[in-house]
Chain A
Amino acid sequence: MKSRLFAFPFALLLLYPCEETGLVEQETEDAGTLDDGAVIERDASMPELQSLSYTPDGCDYEVATPELLFAERGGDEAGSEPTPYQVHVGWSGPTQSTFNVNWRTDGEGTTFARILYGTSESAVAGADDDTAEGVSMQNGHTLVYETATTNLIELDGRVTLHEVHVCGLEPDTTYYYKVGGPGNWSEVYDVATGPELGSTAPWSFASTGDSRNNTENAWPLSQRRVRDRGVDLQIFSGDAVFLGTLQPDWDQFFSASDGDFEVTDLLARVPLMMSNGNHDNLAVNYVASFAMPQEVSEDERAQGEEWYSFDYANAHFIVLNDSVADESVLAGAQASWLRADLEAVDRDVTPWVFAVHHRPFYTCLSTHRPDVGLRQAWQPVFDEYEVDIVFTGHNHVYERSQPIRGLEGVEGVLASAGPNGVPAIGSEGSGSGRPSGTLYVVAAGVGAPLYAVSDECPTTNIAESVQNYVTVEIEDRSLTFTARNAMTDAVIDEFSYSK
């Protein structure tokens, strides 16, 4: 009798889901527990889904959409509210000769998906089509997806997005552009193509991550800081939003402002290259909103945007997805892709190699423990190909590891270090100019609630619990890395080295 009574509380326990969290500093956020929206089952009464793939004029890559409510090449319709907003740029093709633009319109029926662009700001500003001197036009596609807007059970909203790809551009050149369609253009923005691959000219990038929740409006402030640094591109280590399937979260991401600054001021001008976090969860909202390189490899979802690489000037960037549905993909297909991708890198052209993903595998006593499985899956490849810096997030802190090369069991082996914990640079034979180890950076928290962190671990060089952003300036074989407090712009960490 009594043992049955004892069993009763357990029955209750088993009925409750486990993702609800009480302690702010101890959020449980395993990749598998967040809903990716796929659970909202479609029935016969719902409209059929469609997808689109095509090669944009002048480009040598294909663009493919997920399965959506509507996906067609840009048309001639100005719908009820055709004014473009949430404009943002990225790269799906070579950074020195292409760029792409995504934007939203409201209401129903807008199919415009055009861009007018050229190197003269006034010519683009004055044009309504491509008959104007020095102005070119390209047509993209329009898509509509269903989304949750109030809760995660109902697809109660529709979002209209437009996307266009421009190819065949001159390297190292500023282009002015506006998007939309006749009579309904966005304001004129400028975007710059990257230098020729292998260029030794100076350039810089920023790294941010975990903007979700936008606590104290840190996200737009961080983007204002990044804008004021004048970087050429921005990488993002995941968790842009709290719930990837909830459209209001994305609207906050794309429309946030800080005083007179709107994030569009930056995102419409400086390409943002995303990696998927457990909160973004490859939701259709995420996949449809960004256009990243789309080479589909084995076991890869999201039309090839799940993991990818690109080159900029003299650097090779690898963007990985560690928040996968099936963990075996990490050490399996994704590690194989990573190895093949790095094998193909010509280090004479791109001596710098950076990796970006979400969950850190070197992090010290913070909310999420280092992911040892991920370490075993990817570090041997990072080691073999001597990746310079790995950028991650997930723990909302700033951390930089000591240079690490090799594993003993599952523990990272400290490599020799130069001043201020930079990798020692080889000076003889085949080691000449080669850094002793990889630096693992956690640079997250431009809106997500901060976590505790420690610098007590032997692999940790510096750790601080602050909202932060990183800039990396590169000139030929010299690198200057600066981590700053995103709220105050105070320097948290700074180092330089040449190789």
Chain B
Amino acid sequence: MRRAGQPGVASVGLPFLGGALLGVALLGVGTPAARAQSPAQTQRAELEAARAAEEAFDPAEAMERYRAALEIDPSSRLARRARGRVRYLEERSEGGFAPLAELMRAQQARGDREALRRFAEARRGFPSGRVRQEGAMLLAESWSTLGDAEEALSAYREWLEEPELEEQARIRATAGLARLLEQEDRTDEAIAVLNEQALGDVEVGREIAAAQRTRVRRGVALGVLAGFALLLLALLRLRWLEPAVLRRAAAPRRLLVGAYVLLGPLAVAWLYDPSSRDTFGLLALTLAPLVFVASCAGQALGGAPRWKRWAVALGAVAAHAAAGYLVLVARGNTLGLAP
């Protein structure tokens, strides 16, 4: 990462900067050389001077230079750049450009935490207007990008408390705050913020709701697996691990059936949907032990009463579906269930 003014840009940006300085010098003294320039060249020089002023965080000077460029020829292709910048600067001219100069510095601050803190302090004194609003957003987003959750949370809250907050900004601030809280595993607070602002329907609200549903379903799936384990222990203790049972469960015919059950779907995926090969591969791997355990339990239940065999069979089906669901969720797939 590089900051403006470091050697990286300074050395390679010389053509621009050199031209800009030359432009300023020529215009400033009004030498015969300046007068000899074509209007197009003069306009270019003004634009370069304006750009240099922006890079030096001097919006007032930049505005003057852009306006001068526009006056030379408002209809040239390059005048469009001047027009764009003049509009940008005009919309942010509150407080005589001093707040904008601070914002421009902060926009270049990147990882500089001290600069962000200084800007946060200065911003509180800005008059109301676009710079004050954009400054609040910049702080919240910057802290968030830096991974500084506490700073970011308070910056989002400060932004939300801005007087004269525009609707769009309110949505952005709320969504940003809710997303951050969710990332910090503070889901309840995230939901509270969304409800407080009556914005449960913004994308992040739907994401949080979906994540919560997935968490609940994952819990149910884990519960089903645990339940199946308990069922086996309750009905069979460890009888399903006896050598004779294991031998019967590992009979070639049963292994073949198991392989068919596990590898069949994988084969189908392999042939028809290459993008889901990984998912079905993982499914086969995860379900293999479950199939084997269920098969052993079936053998161990040889002479057991009918209800016991049914209980284990149904338990096995449920455990199977639960394990399958967990694998699919881990792979980012929810079997068509609305997330």
Contact = CB atoms under 8 A, between A and B. Distances in A.
Nearest to A176: B75
Contacts of B12: 418-419, 422, 478, 495-498
A24 B207 contact: yes
Most buried by B among A192, A480, A488: A488
B93 interface: no
A18 B265 contact: no
A28 B329 CA distance: 12
Interface stretch (A66-74, A136-144, A228-236): A228-236
Contacts of B324: 9, 13
A465 B172 CA distance: 16
Given A22-B333, A216-B175, A498-B15, A7 B9 contact: no
B237 interface: no
B31 interface: no
B223 to A, nearest CB: 17
A399 interface: no
Contacts of B88: 228
Given A18-B275, A475-B15, A491-B110, A6 B85 contact: no
A231 B258 CA distance: 63
Given A462-B1, A487-B172, A494-B2, A174 B79 contact: yes
Contact of A5 (B110, B171, B313): B313
B329 A488 contact: no
Contacts of B79: 174
B306 to A, nearest CB: 12
For the residues of B in contact with A, the DSSP-based class is helix
A119 B75 contact: yes
Interface stretch (B135-143, B228-236, B240-248): B135-143
For B79, B176, B275, B339, the residue with the greatest tally of chain A CB atoms inside 10 Å of its CB is B275
Contact of B295 (A2, A201, A229): A2
A323 interface: no
A464 B80 CA distance: 31
B339 A23 contact: yes
A297 interface: no
Interface string B174-193: 01100000000000000000
Given A33-B275, A466-B145, A2 B313 contact: yes
A6 B313 CA distance: 9
A106 B177 CA distance: 39
B336 A259 contact: no
A422 B44 CA distance: 27
Contacts of A3: 254, 257-258, 261, 295
A21 B330 CA distance: 11
B15 A28 contact: no
B268 A14 contact: yes
Nearest to B77: A192
A24 B75 CA distance: 47
Nearest to B176: A216
A16 B334 CA distance: 10
Interface string A466-499: 1000000101101010001101111111111110
Contacts of A202: 44, 47, 78
B124 interface: no
B147 to A, nearest CB: 10
B202 to A, nearest CB: 8
B8 A420 contact: yes
Nearest to A485: B141
B145 A174 contact: no
Given A174-B77, A216-B203, A229-B84, A489 B107 contact: yes
Nearest to B266: A10
Contact of A495 (B9, B76, B87, B175): B9
A174 B76 contact: yes
Interface in A15-29: 16-18, 20-24, 26-28
A195 interface: yes
Nearest to A195: B77
A90 interface: no
A146 interface: no
B334 A21 contact: yes
A8 B318 CA distance: 11
A20 B77 contact: no
A494 B6 CA distance: 11
Interface in A431-453: 449
Interface string B98-122: 0000000011111000000000000
B268 A6 contact: no
A20 B332 CA distance: 9
Interface of A: 1-3, 5-10, 12-14, 16-18, 20-24, 26-28, 30, 32-33, 119, 121, 172-174, 190, 192-195, 201-204, 213, 215-217, 227-232, 258-259, 269, 418-420, 422, 449, 462, 464-466, 473, 475-476, 478, 480, 484-485, 487-498
7 tightest A-B CB contacts, nearest first? A230-B84, A230-B81, A26-B332, A22-B334, A420-B8, A22-B339, A228-B88
14 contacts: A18-B273, A21-B332, A21-B334, A22-B329, A22-B339, A192-B80, A195-B77, A201-B44, A203-B77, A215-B175, A259-B166, A419-B8, A494-B4, A495-B12
Given A5-B313, A174-B79, A216-B171, 8 more contacts: A10-B261, A16-B336, A20-B336, A24-B210, A174-B77, A449-B207, A478-B16, A491-B4
